[in-house]
């Protein structure tokens, strides 16, 4: 593609040679180049930075300093750094560390963690429908790995929607897992930032530019436990990873 006057236009095929000069001297490019950020798993850091930027005038210089300082903090713990780089963690500790750093360096933040006591989820290896009829009838949700019931999707949505509707300085950071039909493991586990809430749709302020990125979450379009996944609900929001954030002042 060529750029002309700010517009992207297709080149004139009649003006292009059939074989670019020197093409026979080098192997043909088979795979596209990686784009910046594609080789790292730092979506948790981007989620916090983008959440702040959605409610606070955070410029690129200040954002870069926050990003860099968060990585320098992480680098002081070799085992923690390795776990993050190789995606061997849920990044919860990293999110909290970046939020603490942001509260010191960027703005005075009030942070709420409404489902902090919810158990971690086993998100790999989908199981069949929940066999616990008693739990389903009671509305308490599905148990986690330690048999503690998970908060329901309704409870998570109401906490998130109620928070975001309480003022312009409020945002949130959350983690979701996206599945495909007939697949046991999620195709992606991703941290993201809440954007606008319009009716029953939460639009995300997300860092991903992948073609299959998730840009919105519908009320009733996600679950909070693997046992509730179905062909029409393939997004799992992890309750204990929801962080509600408010910029004071």
Q: Could you read off the pLDDT of 86-130 as tens digits, one per residue? A: 999 999 999 999 999 999 999 999 999 999 999 998 888 654 443
Q: Where are the alpha helices (DSSP H) in 34-192?
A: 43-53, 60-75, 78-85, 92-105, 133-138, 153-164
The pLDDT of residue 157:
98
Q: Note if the pTM is more than 0.75.
A: yes
Q: Could you read off the pLDDT of 219-241 as tens digits, one per residue? A: 999 999 999 999 999 999 999 99
The pLDDT of residue 178:
95
The pLDDT of residue 29:
58
39-45 — which CB contacts under 8 Å span 24+ positions?
Answer: 40/85, 41/84, 41/85, 41/87, 41/91, 42/71, 42/84, 43/91, 43/190, 43/191, 43/192, 43/207, 43/208, 44/91, 44/94, 44/95, 44/98, 44/175, 44/191, 45/70, 45/71, 45/94, 45/98
Q: Could you read off the pLDDT of 6-36 as tens digits, one per residue? A: 333 333 444 444 445 555 555 555 788 887 7
Sequence ranges of the domains in the chain: 43-247
28: tokens are 């043909």
Indicate if the pLDDT at residue 177 is higher than 90: yes
124: tokens are 């790999």
The pLDDT of residue 143:
52
The pLDDT of residue 162:
97
């Amino acid at each position: 593609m060529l750029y002309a006057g700010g517009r992207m236009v297709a080149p004139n095929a009649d003006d292009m040679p059939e074989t670019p000069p020197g093409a026979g001297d080098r192997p043909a490019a088979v795979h596209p180049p990686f784009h910046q950020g594609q080789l790292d798993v730092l979506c948790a850091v981007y989620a916090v930075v983008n959440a702040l930027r959605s409610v606070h005038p955070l410029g690129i210089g200040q954002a870069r300093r926050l990003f860099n300082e968060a990585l320098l903090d992480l680098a002081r713990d070799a085992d923690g750094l390795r776990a993050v780089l190789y995606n061997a963690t849920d990044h919860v500790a990293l999110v909290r560390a970046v939020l603490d750093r942001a509260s010191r360096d960027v703005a005075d933040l009030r942070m709420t963690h409404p489902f902090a006591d919810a158990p971690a989820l086993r998100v790999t290896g989908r199981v069949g429908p929940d066999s616990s009829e008693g739990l389903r009838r009671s509305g308490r949700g599905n148990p986690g790995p330690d048999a503690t019931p998970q908060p329901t999707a309704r409870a998570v949505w109401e906490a998130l929607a109620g928070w975001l509707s309480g003022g312009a300085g409020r945002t949130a950071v959350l983690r979701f897992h996206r599945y495909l039909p007939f697949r046991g493991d999620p195709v992606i586990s991703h941290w993201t930032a809440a954007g606008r809430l319009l009716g029953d749709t939460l639009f995300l302020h997300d860092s991903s530019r992948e073609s299959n990125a998730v840009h919105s979450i519908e009320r009733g379009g996600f679950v909070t436990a693997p046992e509730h996944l179905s062909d029409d609900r393939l997004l799992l929001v992890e309750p204990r990873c929801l962080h509600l954030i408010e910029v004071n002042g």
